[in-house]
Chains A and B, each alone.
Chain A
Amino acid sequence: MSDTGARAGGWTGAVRRRAVRALPPEKLLPDTQPSYMASWIYIFGVLTLASLLVVLATGGLLALEGPGWWHVSATGKYVNSLHLWSVELFMFFMVVHLWGKFFMAAWRGRRAMTWITGAVAFLSSVGTAFTGYLVQQNFDSQWISTQAKDGLNSVGIGAYFNVLNFGQMLMWHIVVLPLVLGLLTVWHLLLVRRRGIVPPIDATAPQAQAQAQASAPAVEEEQS
Chain B
Amino acid sequence: MKWRTADTTPESSSFPTRPYDLVKEVTIALVVVALLTVGLAAVFSSPDDRPVTVASWSRADPADFTATAVTELGGTSTSAQYGAPYNHTPGAGQKLGPLGLQNAAGVRIPVDTARDFVLRPLSSSPEPASVTAALSTWNAAPAAKQQSWTSAYTDALGKAPDGDPAKVAPGDYGPVPTISTALLDLARSGSLDGQLLAEGGFYQSDYTHPLLFLADGSYLPGLADAQHLTGSQWGMMNETGNYPGQAWLWLYTFWYQIDPFKSSHNADALVWGTMALLSLGLVLVPFIPGVRSIPRWTRVHRLIWRDYYRSHH
Please indicate the chain B residues that have their CB under 8 angstroms from the CB of A95 in the complex: 248
B298 within 8 A of A: yes
Listed by A's residue number, 7 A-B pairs whose Cβ atoms lie within 8 Å are A49-B26, A109-B10, A116-B286, A143-B224, A151-B271, A153-B94, A206-B14
What is the bound-complex CA distance between A176 and B282, given in angstroms? 23
Please indicate the chain A residues that have their CB under 8 angstroms from the CB of B22 in the complex: 29-31
Q: Assess the A50–B29 pair: CB atoms within 8 A.
A: yes
Please indicate the chain A residues that have their CB under 8 angstroms from the CB of B292 in the complex: 105, 107
Q: Which of A26-44 contact B (CB under 8 A)?
A: 29-39, 41, 43
Q: Assess the B32–A207 pair: CB atoms within 8 A.
A: no
Please indicate the chain A residues that have their CB under 8 angstroms from the CB of B246 in the complex: 126, 129-130, 133
A69 to chain B, nearest CB (A): 12
What is the bound-complex CA distance between A37 and B21, given in angstroms? 13
Interface size class of A (residues with CB under 8 A): 35 or more
Q: Assess the A140–B240 pair: CB atoms within 8 A.
A: yes
- Please tell me which stretch of B150-158, B186-194, B201-209 contacts chain A, meaning at least 4 of its Cβ atoms lie within 8 angstroms of it: B201-209
What is the bound-complex CA distance between A197 and B18, given in angstroms? 13
Q: What is the 8 Å Cβ interface bit string for chain A, positions 64-81, against chain B (1 contact, 0 not)?
A: 000000110000011011
Please indicate the chain A residues that have their CB under 8 angstroms from the CB of B243 in the complex: 84
- Indicate whether A89 sits within 8 Å of B33 (C-beta atoms), given known contacts A81-B44, A119-B285, A140-B240: yes
Please indicate the chain A residues that have their CB under 8 angstroms from the CB of B13 in the complex: 196
What is the bound-complex CA distance between A56 and B260, given in angstroms? 40
Q: Assess the B298–A142 pair: CB atoms within 8 A.
A: no
Q: Which of B177-216 contact A (CB under 8 A)?
A: 205-208, 211-212, 214-215
B290 within 8 A of A: no
Seen from chain B, the residues whose Cβ lies within 8 Å of a Cβ on chain A are 7, 9-23, 25-26, 29-30, 32-34, 36-38, 40-42, 44-52, 82, 84-85, 94, 96, 101-102, 104-109, 205-208, 211-212, 214-215, 220, 223-224, 227, 229, 231, 235-236, 239-240, 243-244, 246-249, 266, 268-269, 271-273, 276, 279, 282-287, 292, 294-296, 298, 300-301, 304-309, 312
Q: Closest residue of chain A to B239, judged by CB?
A: A140
> Which of B20, B223, B236, B284 touches A31 (beta carbons < 8 Å)?
B20
> Which of B20, B32, B276, B295 touches A104 (beta carbons < 8 Å)?
B295
> Which of A100, A148, A150, A205 touches B10 (beta carbons < 8 Å)?
A205
A192 to chain B, nearest CB (A): 10
Counted as pairs of residues, one from A and one from B, with CB atoms less than 8 Å apart, the total is 302
Please indicate the chain A residues that have their CB under 8 angstroms from the CB of B282 in the complex: 119, 122-123
Extra contacts besides A50-B34, A196-B13 (18): CB < 8 Å: A46-B25, A81-B44, A81-B46, A85-B37, A103-B298, A109-B7, A112-B286, A123-B282, A140-B240, A144-B239, A146-B215, A154-B269, A155-B102, A156-B105, A160-B108, A164-B212, A206-B14, A206-B16
A185 within 8 A of B: no
Q: Assess the A81–B45 pair: CB atoms within 8 A.
A: yes
> Which of A139, A165, A201 touches B301 (beta carbons < 8 Å)?
A201
- Indicate whether A50 sits within 8 Å of B30 (C-beta atoms), given known contacts A82-B41, A206-B16: yes
B235 to chain A, nearest CB (A): 6
Q: Closest residue of chain A to B107, judged by CB?
A: A159
> Which of A89, A103, A148 touches B36 (beta carbons < 8 Å)?
A89
**4 A-B pairs with least C-beta separation:** A167-B205, A196-B12, A109-B9, A156-B105
What is the bound-complex CA distance between A150 and B181, given in angstroms? 31
- Indicate whether A133 sits within 8 Å of B52 (C-beta atoms), given known contacts A35-B18, A203-B312, A205-B10: no
What is the bound-complex CA distance between A88 and B44, given in angstroms? 12
- Indicate whether A138 sits within 8 Å of B20 (C-beta atoms), given known contacts A155-B101, A199-B12: no
A110 to chain B, nearest CB (A): 8
Q: Closest residue of chain B to A99, judged by CB?
A: B300
What is the bound-complex CA distance between A88 and B235, given in angstroms? 18
